[in-house]
């Protein structure tokens, strides 16, 4: 019926989707206009649906409602989508940009040639597209490939339309499983929880139950248990209390706790779970990582050093002469312990002299012609370390050489690094698995120095390695607490130490961003509502910082926000800043993602094939609308992303504080609102503040700042590393 006026009864409606007024990628909420061949019969429709395209025929079930502002509209709660069958619908469908290589112009030319047979021609006789003037072999190939990809995406989307799966996740499923996605979902829906990032238990469970799996079946209960343990890991824990696990899993599954307890025993028997301590369980991967880290550290401690003879005190005097100034006692002790102890830790906040120690230590080791390796968890941190130490540094992943074909690192205990001394900066960012991989790859005769700020947020991944190592009392720890004269004049350093001391008073607030004083490096712009906060941040990025302070917003400014959602969240901030500073860049919509040339983006997962890693930032340099590709500049490296790879990228004008760890930015803008209350913690503000090198601008409510500083009761991560370290020391 797509070629006629939309047909309707009291609770049904059918017609061609003319245009999409609004679509929410997160929850699938759609506002659109439906009509048939009668150009005057346009009807507003609202409801939840997977991403559909203009030109599709929609068969909707729901009810008519009168909206106080928008008038009469059809609110649907279920629908069926069909590919367009009429020339009118096909023309609309292809002109939407869904198929890369076909824009409005070519859509008209193709439909003029093939009419209602167009989609069959594209699918079955794509070579005939060369009959259209301007379409060559290359464009035909691109159109055919895009059509096949879209068919796979569409099939999965239609299958998942009632399960609340977002378009982005559908793209991930297709990327992971290809044309087998639907078959895999039907045969083992719980599999996707383990294998596809972003798919949770509830989504997989809805699919499973609708496919007829038993509510109390062992597969479902075990999947729920493992999901509960994995959720604990996602929150940073490496093991969970069995009693708490039973309660949480039973609540999740809405089933009897005795059934859950029995399935935990079954998972322990099959080794899908292991016992850590009495009444505590963990995933075997976590248990192995903790054991590996403990064993490897003890191997380092128990093996004689390979360093050449060094007269430590004379070396320190020499390093001071080379630097041109004397070191503080704590700095001298840090150098001494690094040279004398096989494994040591250096911890301290900003302005306490960590860089001085690193530079001196590297100078001493170079003079002794030792093989030094410097590393950090992120590329930005590695580059900063290289600059400060005047020695090559690299990320942990590059240091250990990840091999995609083997799914692991090339360097390990069988193939260790070739070095005498390893210095790892930003050690607070090392999660359990990465720390274990690093330490097991260090030759037993080498030294290891871990450098970090123990007061920062813990790693994004599970574990609390730096804190656990300090708490174990197994290693030599040097704490730097004195702020040096050159740092005392820094408002940022002074505020950082005030935060650690629990001083809840923010910098004196100003009422408008235009009143920023260039003489100061710490500012607080008052904004009493989320809307006002976003306006102030946007004004800073669009006008004040570029014009008043000559700051390049893309390369020198980073907005750090506590939450992802909401008006003051990362998603909306990115949209508003992008539209403010890059409104006219060449634009390409690829699935649910929009890219503009000149946009700032961030990589969200490790891609070892492309040598880009979670947290790497770049600029969109080119958008290829023909082939559906984007080119990203990461520093001086140009990386090409195919259309199914762009799900790894997100806008980066605003990012989370966690994502910022290991990086420094000339200017940081930090929205703080009471609506962020769930995330308002002292170490969050401290971490965000200490990312700024020259200027930090808080925007929001002074009361929110005070709430955060007063809250020093951060979530305690449950780990078993300290016990395993103690057991190894005792020979167990």
- For the chain, 732 residues long, the average pLDDT of each consecutive 10-residue run is 45 84 71 71 81 79 83 83 76 74 83 88 87 86 80 70 63 74 82 80 83 85 93 92 96 93 95 93 96 96 94 95 90 94 92 88 95 90 89 92 81 95 94 96 97 86 93 93 61 86 84 88 92 94 92 93 85 91 76 77 83 86 79 88 80 91 89 79 89 92 90 83 89 68
Residue 229, Cβ density class (10 Å: 0-12 exposed, 13-18 middle, ≥19 buried): buried
Alpha carbon separation from 271 to 36, 216, 488 (Å, rounded): 59, 21, 55
Beta bridge partners of 33: 19, 44
Q: Strand (E) positions, 141-216?
A: none
The backbone region for 181, taken as left when phi is positive above 0, alpha when psi lies in -120 to 50, beta otherwise, is alpha
Q: Rounded CA gap, 720 and 284, in Å?
A: 13
Specify whether the CB–CB gap between 160 and 198 falls below 8 A.
no
Provide the 8-state DSSP code for 282: E
DSSP states along 666-706: EEEEEEE-GGGGGG--HHHHHHHHTTEEEEEEEEE-HHHHH
Residue 169's contacts (CB-CB under 8 Å, 6 or more residues apart) are 196, 198, 199, 203
Q: Rounded CA gap, 203 and 114, in Å?
A: 41
Q: Which single residue is written with the structure tokens 């935990």? A: 264
Q: Which single residue is written with the structure tokens 């009444």? A: 279
Q: H/E element holding 205?
A: helix 201-210
Residue 254's contacts (CB-CB under 8 Å, 6 or more residues apart) are none
Instruction: Report the candidate in 24, 22, 28, 1 with the shortest Cα–Cα distance to residue 13.
Output: 1
Q: What is the pLDDT of residue 4?
A: 38
Query: Residue 147: what are its φ and ψ, rounded to 5°?
Result: -65, -45
Q: Which single residue is written with the structure tokens 């990465």? A: 434
* CA dihedral of 639, 641, 642, 645, whole degrees rounded to 10: 140
Q: Rounded CA gap, 345 and 359, in Å?
A: 16
Q: What is the pLDDT of residue 167?
A: 61
- Rounded to two decimals, what is the model's pTM? 0.74
Q: Rounded CA gap, 587 and 583, in Å?
A: 9
Q: Rounded CA gap, 583 and 577, in Å?
A: 9
Q: Rounded CA gap, 679 and 672, in Å?
A: 10
Q: Rounded CA gap, 102 and 94, in Å?
A: 7
Query: Residue 410: what are its φ and ψ, rounded to 5°?
Result: -70, -40
User: Three-state SS for 376?
Assistant: strand
With b for 16 or more beta-carbon neighbours within 10 A and e for fewer, the 298-333 pattern comes to bbbbeeebebeebeeeebbeebbeeeeeebeebbbb
Q: Rounded CA gap, 344 and 309, in Å?
A: 19
Task: Please give the span between the terminal C-alpha atoms of the chain, in angstroms, as a whole number.
Answer: 75
Q: What is the pLDDT of residue 164?
A: 56
């Amino acid at each position: 019926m797509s070629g006629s006026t939309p047909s309707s009864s009291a609770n049904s409606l059918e017609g061609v989707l003319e245009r999409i007024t609004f679509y929410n990628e997160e929850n699938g909420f759609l506002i659109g206009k439906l009509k048939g061949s009668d150009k005057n019969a346009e009807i507003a429709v609202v409801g939840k649906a997977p991403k559909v395209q203009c030109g599709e025929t929609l068969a909707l079930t729901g009810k008519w409602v009168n909206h106080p502002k928008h008038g009469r509209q059809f609110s649907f709660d279920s629908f069926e989508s069909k590919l367009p069958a009429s020339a009118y619908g096909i023309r609309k469908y292809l002109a939407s940009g869904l198929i890369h290589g076909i824009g409005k112009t070519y859509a008209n030319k193709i439909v003029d040639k093939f009419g209602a047979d167009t989609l069959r021609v594209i699918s079955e006789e794509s070579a005939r597209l060369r009959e259209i003037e301007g379409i060559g072999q290359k464009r035909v190939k691109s159109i055919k490939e895009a059509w096949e990809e879209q068919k796979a995406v569409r099939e999965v989307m239609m299958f998942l339309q009632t399960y609340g799966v977002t378009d982005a996740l559908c793209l991930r499923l297709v990327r992971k499983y290809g044309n087998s996605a639907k078959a895999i979902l039907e045969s083992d829906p719980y599999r996707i929880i383990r294998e596809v990032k972003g798919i949770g238990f509830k989504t997989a469970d809805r699919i499973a139950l609708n496919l007829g799996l038993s509510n109390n079946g062992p597969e479902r209960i075990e999947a729920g248990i493992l999901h509960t343990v994995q959720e604990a890991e996602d929150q940073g824990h490496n093991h969970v209390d069995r009693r708490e696990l039973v309660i949480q899993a039973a609540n999740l599954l809405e089933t009897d706790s005795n059934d859950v307890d029995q399935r935990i025993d079954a998972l322990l028997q099959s080794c899908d779970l292991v016992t850590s301590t009495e009444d505590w369980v963990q995933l075997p991967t976590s248990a192995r990582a903790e054991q590996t880290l403990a064993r490897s550290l003890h191997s380092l401690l128990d093996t004689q050093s390979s360093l050449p003879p060094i007269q430590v005190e004379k070396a320190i005097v020499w390093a001071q002469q080379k630097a041109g100034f004397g070191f503080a006692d704590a700095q001298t002790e840090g150098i001494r312990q690094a040279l004398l102890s096989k494994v040591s830790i250096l911890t301290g906040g900003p302005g306490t002299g960590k860089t001085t120690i690193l530079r001196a230590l590297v100078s001493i080791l170079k003079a002794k012609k030792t093989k030094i390796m410097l590393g950090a968890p992120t590329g930005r941190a590695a580059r900063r370390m290289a600059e400060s130490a005047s020695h090559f540094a690299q990320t942990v992943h590059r240091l250990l050489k990840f091999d995609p074909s083997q799914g692991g690192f090339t360097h390990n205990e069988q193939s260790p690094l070739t070095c005498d001394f390893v210095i790892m900066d930003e050690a607070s960012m090392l999660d359990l698995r990465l720390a274990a991989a690093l330490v097991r790859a260090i030759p037993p005769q080498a030294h290891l120095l871990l450098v970090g700020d123990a007061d920062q947020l813990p790693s994004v991944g599970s574990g609390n390695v730096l804190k656990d190592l300090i708490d174990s009392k197994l290693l030599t720890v040097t704490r730097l607490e004195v702020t040096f004269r050159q740092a005392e004049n820094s408002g940022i350093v002074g505020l950082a130490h005030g935060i650690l001391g629990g001083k809840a008073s923010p910098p004196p607030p100003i009422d408008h961003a235009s009143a920023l004083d260039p003489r100061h490096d710490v500012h607080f712009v008052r904004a009493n509502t989320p809307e006002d906060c976003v306006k102030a941040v946007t004004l800073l990025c669009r006008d004040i910082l570029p014009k008043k302070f000559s700051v390049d917003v893309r390369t020198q400014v980073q907005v750090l926000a506590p939450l992802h959602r909401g008006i003051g969240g990362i998603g909306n901030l990115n949209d508003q800043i992008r539209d403010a500073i890059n409104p006219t860049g060449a634009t390409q919509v690829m699935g649910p993602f929009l890219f503009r040339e000149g946009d700032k983006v961030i990589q969200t997962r490790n891609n070892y094939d492309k040598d880009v890693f979670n947290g790497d930032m770049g600029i969109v340099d080119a958008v290829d609308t023909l082939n559906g590709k984007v080119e990203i500049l990461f520093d001086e490296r140009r990386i090409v992303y195919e259309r199914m790879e762009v799900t790894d990228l997100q806008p980066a004008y605003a990012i989370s504080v966690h994502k910022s760890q290991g990086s420094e930015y000339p200017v940081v803008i930090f929205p703080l609102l009471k609506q962020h209350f769930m995330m308002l913690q002292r170490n969050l503000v401290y971490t965000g503040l200490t990312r700024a090198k020259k200027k930090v601008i808080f925007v929001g409510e002074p009361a929110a700042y005070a709430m955060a500083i007063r809250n020093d009761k951060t979530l305690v991560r449950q780990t078993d590393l300290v016990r395993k370290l103690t057991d190894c020391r005792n020979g167990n």
